[in-house]
């Protein structure tokens, strides 16, 4: 990745690995490690509750697009970049070399860190995966916006996305921003896709999976999964870099 994005500020909480002090968090972390220890992992999906919900609200999409690819869901509710860093240092990549890592993290840093700090946290996650599993390709997703209408926090997340998009090198790291799937032209989030204006529902997860599927298939080296329906998922097109 570009040298200008390899410098980490260690007075930034988003880059200091820590476990999360939350009931059930460590149990979920250890359950992920137990799944990893079984081996045969070709795809990992790293994130917070938005990713973890592929196990519940988004299960149909997961079963269609990711389970057949020997995927492990590494989403944990409430996580920020610093918690993901700790998890990556404590077992999540031990003994495996996945073909692809999909990353969606940083939303929960909003309100706690600046856009630049959030970007540094995401950058550190990308760097950690590159160091621990250099053969793994990375599909870095733009952080989803949240709240029903535009609020100041969204500007921080947008700034972070602008910075992390520059991590894409077209060889190992790739970037996609599919926020247009979830945002109306006036900036509002449709309740039909995110009932709480933060977490996609079943339809939202399907549209998410469909939006990135061509790139996922390319990076996995397999054939794209046929969409669940022949209907056009969205008239908006995600931004892909490069």
- Taking only the tens place, the pLDDT of each residue in 7-32 is 556 689 999 999 999 999 999 999 99
Helix axis angle for 81-89 and 115-132, nearest 10°, is 20
Q: What is the mean pLDDT of residues 31-55?
A: 98
Tell me which residue range forms the domain holding 88. Answer: 3-219
Counted domains in the chain: 1
Domain assignment present for 229: no
Separation of alpha carbons 125 and 112, rounded Å: 18
Separation of alpha carbons 137 and 152, rounded Å: 33
User: Rounded to the nearest 5 degrees, what angle is found at the Cα of 202, between the Cα atoms of 55 and 188?
Assistant: 120
pTM for the whole structure: 0.91
Which of 157, 239, 144, 237 lies closest to 199 in space, CA to CA? 144
Domain assignment present for 182: yes
Domain assignment present for 231: no
Q: What token pair was written down for 35?
A: 């799944």
Domain assignment present for 239: no
Domain assignment present for 225: no
- Give the domain CATH number at 110: 3.40.50.1110
Domain assignment present for 15: yes
Q: Which of 1-15, 149-163, 175-189 has the lowest mean pLDDT?
A: 1-15
CB crowding 206-237: b at 16 or more within 10 Å, else e = bbbbbbbbebbbebbeeeebebeeeeebeebe
């Amino acid at each position: 990745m570009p040298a200008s994005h390899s410098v980490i500020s260690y007075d930034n909480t988003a880059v200091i690995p820590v476990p999360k002090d939350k009931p059930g968090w460590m149990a979920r972390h250890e359950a992920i490690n137990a799944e990893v220890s079984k081996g045969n992992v070709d795809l990992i999906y790293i994130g917070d509750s938005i990713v973890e919900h592929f196990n519940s609200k988004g299960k149909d999409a997961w079963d269609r697009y990711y389970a057949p690819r020997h995927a492990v869901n590494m989403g944990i509710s409430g996580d920020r970049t610093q918690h993901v860093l700790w998890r990556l240092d404590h077992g999540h990549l031990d003994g495996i070399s996945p073909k692809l890592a999909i990353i969606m993290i940083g939303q929960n840093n909003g309100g706690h860190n600046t856009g630049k700090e959030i970007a540094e946290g995401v950058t550190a996650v990308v760097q950690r995966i590159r160091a621990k599993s250099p053969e793994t390709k990375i599909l870095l997703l733009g952080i989803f916006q949240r709240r029903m209408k535009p609020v100041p926090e969204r500007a921080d997340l947008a700034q972070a996305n602008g910075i992390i998009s520059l991590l894409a090198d077209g060889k190992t790291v790739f970037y996609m921003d599919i926020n247009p799937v979830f945002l109306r032209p006036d900036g509002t989030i449709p309740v039909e896709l995110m009932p709480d204006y933060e977490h996609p529902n079943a339809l939202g997860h399907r549209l998410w999976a469909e939006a990135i599927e061509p790139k996922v298939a390319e990076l996995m080296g397999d054939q794209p999964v046929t969409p669940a329906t022949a209907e056009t998922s969205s008239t908006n097109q995600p931004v892909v870099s490069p």
